[in-house]
Structure 1
Amino acid sequence: MLSGRDMREPAPCSAHPAPRVRYAAPDTAPGDGTLAVLRFRTAPSPDDPRVLHVPFAPLGEAMDEYWEVEGPVTSGRDGGLRWARGGGWLFAAIDVLESDHGGPENAAAFAYEALSRRVSAGPERHVQRIWNYLGAINEGEGDDERYKHFCTGRIRGMGEVFAQGFPAASALGHHGNADLLQVYLLATDQTGTRVENPRQVSAWRYPRQYGRTPPSFARATMLPCDDVLAISGTAAVVGHASAHVGDIDAQLEETARNLDALLESAGLPAGFHARDPLKAYVRHAEHADTVRAFVENRWPGTPLLMVLGDVCRRELLVEIDGWRYR
């Protein structure tokens, strides 16, 4: 899981270099060292357990996301759960139909219980990063919002695997099958370090207005060798409140300030570069050009994958996550 050590102390480096994450042309064949391939479009996933179709429509150039490790990769399936391991790293993913479990809360609990069993069964027991995708994420009012039900189910299913602290995470609304919950993760056999943003209240400490169960994630995770920062979904939130409602330009600026604060907290220089892939989830397709131009101007040369997706708060128009290599 995650360590609570001071970020100023040197981390003991494992023998396992962090995965290299890159974007590539669609349907490029995975190699022997490919741990996972994420294809951002709605289609049946192929027989290869490492290749997962994620139900987000690309905005602009379509690209696949590749996670590559040193050494051979083995993979398989365990019922509805797929997994791949290699180089000291584990990719695990599950697709769950909410209708099989009575709604988003029980579906989330089931998904997290299944993933926790898989993580506990092998040496890669330290979860570094999780992605959560569900349909109609903002549907419902107050405590009946689907995202809030998901948060309650997530914490129910986490179990002992997550007892030492929450990893970095993203939770977005897809536009595929509204019945589908998809969760996937990256884990390893060494601890990472939780990184918080001093501009924001830690998510698990959000006040009651955000639901019966606060979101359970860290703002970022520094991977075990302190050479890669896995960044959670980051948006225009200051303290615990959403900022600049309805203003895409101001939300992008606030999001960038939050990303800068995370990098500083992690002891990394400001900015992103050609080795640092970012992903932007954009609520309205008409904002795609604005988001693309902002990233190109703010962080020239940074790889950007944009998809159409809903942020977990309905007033937020864009969220950015990604990887920052030292």
Structure 2
Amino acid sequence: QYGDDQPTVSTVPAHIAVPLRSLGRAFIEVWRSHERVTRGERDDVTFSHNEHLLMGQIIVSEDDYGDLDAATFAAYRRLYSFARKQGFAHPLRVWNFLPDINGRETGLERYQGFCQGRHGALQTRATTSQQLPAASAIGTQGGHFVIYFIAAREPGAQVENPRQVSAFNYPRHYSPKSPSFSRAVVKRWGASAHLYISGTASIVGHESLHTADTLAQVDETLSNLDALVRHAGSQHALGIHSVRDLSLLKVYVRNAVDSDAIAARFTNSTVAEIPVMILHGDICRGDLRLEIEGLYMGQGAAD
């Protein structure tokens, strides 16, 4: 759930409270199942699952660990251990919401500390750069560090973006340990398929572009999404051919005053028919003004 009137965190298994303000009307995002759903809390993870898919939430108290690096390491160890014990050993998509993501701590930017902790935890799982979930890491204005995720019994297929360097191979000046996520993951569910697209920004190669122009960042990000969708569609024979075929876009905006102009840009673009959620959140790089993630839920074979 998104919006001003929702609690900072939720420990109800079926309810995930995202600590971001909706720039516009409040939203409730609903994931439905045609199968029986089991819900509960175990090992400090609240969860819901059916036979095929697990959704879980971890609320992290950084005070228990000393710094974000250690807190992230512990949280990701918990995530992977819990998912494996439940029989869903393959995380497909992870969302991370971090207070003060661009602040500094123990000599590093907090996002860099987060990257170190996640990288270290994944190394203990012997996870390679070809087995990474799609992910987003967004800054919040306070509250707890919140992670929620979906995982499956069988792995999805990792997708990279032909316009971008794999985040796992970024130069070290972005972070002492690389950001450990894939640009997207394809998961087939019988005759249908999902494409989970990570947070995507105005980055070509590994460099931020248009750092002083919000709308140019919108356009560059949409170009990145379009390239990714086309690549995923052709590589995995999906019924999807361009960014306009996506089912949902979420836009995270650093400066709330930019939201109206960004919304207008979407209305007058090729994605005008796609549902768009605009949320107020900080971006992992200080020179980026927005980030967009996407979701496709549809045919599992090309038309």
TM-score normalized with structure 1 length: 0.83
Give the match for residue 83 of structure 2.
119
Q: How does 1:168-183 map to 2 (within 5 A)?
A: 168-177=134-143, 180-183=144-147
Give the match for residue 160 of structure 1.
125
CA deviations on 1:215-248 (whole Å, 9 max, x unpaired) are: 0000000112472210000000000000001200
Count of equivalent residues: 286
Tell me how far apart the structure 1 counterparts of residues 43 and 151 of structure 2 sit (CA, whole Å).
20
- Given that residues 100 and 139 in structure 2 are in contact (C-alpha distance below 8 angstroms), is that contact kept between their aligned partners in structure 1? yes
- Once the two structures are TM-superposed, the CA of residue 70 in structure 1 deviates from its matched residue by 2.0
CA deviations on 1:186-237 (whole Å, 9 max, x unpaired) are: 1111221111001100000000111110100000001124722100000000
**Structure 1 residues 296, 161: CA separation in 2 closer, same or farther (over 3 Å shift)?**
farther
Matched, 1:314 2:286: yes
- Once the two structures are TM-superposed, the CA of residue 72 in structure 1 deviates from its matched residue by 1.4
Give the match for residue 34 of structure 2.
70
CA deviations on 1:35-77 (whole Å, 9 max, x unpaired) are: xxx4445515456312011110110111111111221111111
CA deviations on 1:256-298 (whole Å, 9 max, x unpaired) are: 000001001111311335x711111000011101121122222
Which amino acid in the other structure matches residue 98 of structure 1? E
Tell me how far apart the structure 2 counterparts of residues 220 and 127 of structure 1 sit (CA, whole Å).
12
Which amino acid in the other structure matches residue 317 of structure 1? R
1:195 to 141, 153, 159: 159
Give the match for residue 105 of structure 1.
69
Give the match for residue 249 of structure 1.
215
Unaligned runs of 5+ in 2: 234-239, 299-303
- Given that residues 210 and 217 in structure 2 are in contact (C-alpha distance below 8 angstroms), is that contact kept between their aligned partners in structure 1? yes
- Once the two structures are TM-superposed, the CA of residue 131 in structure 1 deviates from its matched residue by 0.6
Unaligned runs of 5+ in 1: 1-37
CA deviations on 1:12-44 (whole Å, 9 max, x unpaired) are: xxxxxxxxxxxxxxxxxxxxxxxxxx4445515
- Given that residues 8 and 18 in structure 2 are in contact (C-alpha distance below 8 angstroms), is that contact kept between their aligned partners in structure 1? no
Runs of 4+ in 1 over 6 A off after TM superposition: none
Which amino acid in the other structure matches residue 147 of structure 2? V
Give the match for residue 301 of structure 2.
none
1:292 to 252, 263, 267: 263
Root-mean-square deviation (Å): 1.9
User: SS where residue 262 of structure 1 aligns?
Assistant: helix
User: SS where residue 223 of structure 2 aligns?
Assistant: helix
TM-score normalized with structure 2 length: 0.89
Give the match for residue 262 of structure 1.
228
Q: How does 1:124-163 map to 2 (within 5 A)?
A: 124-140=88-104, 144-158=108-122, 159-160=124-125, 162-163=127-128
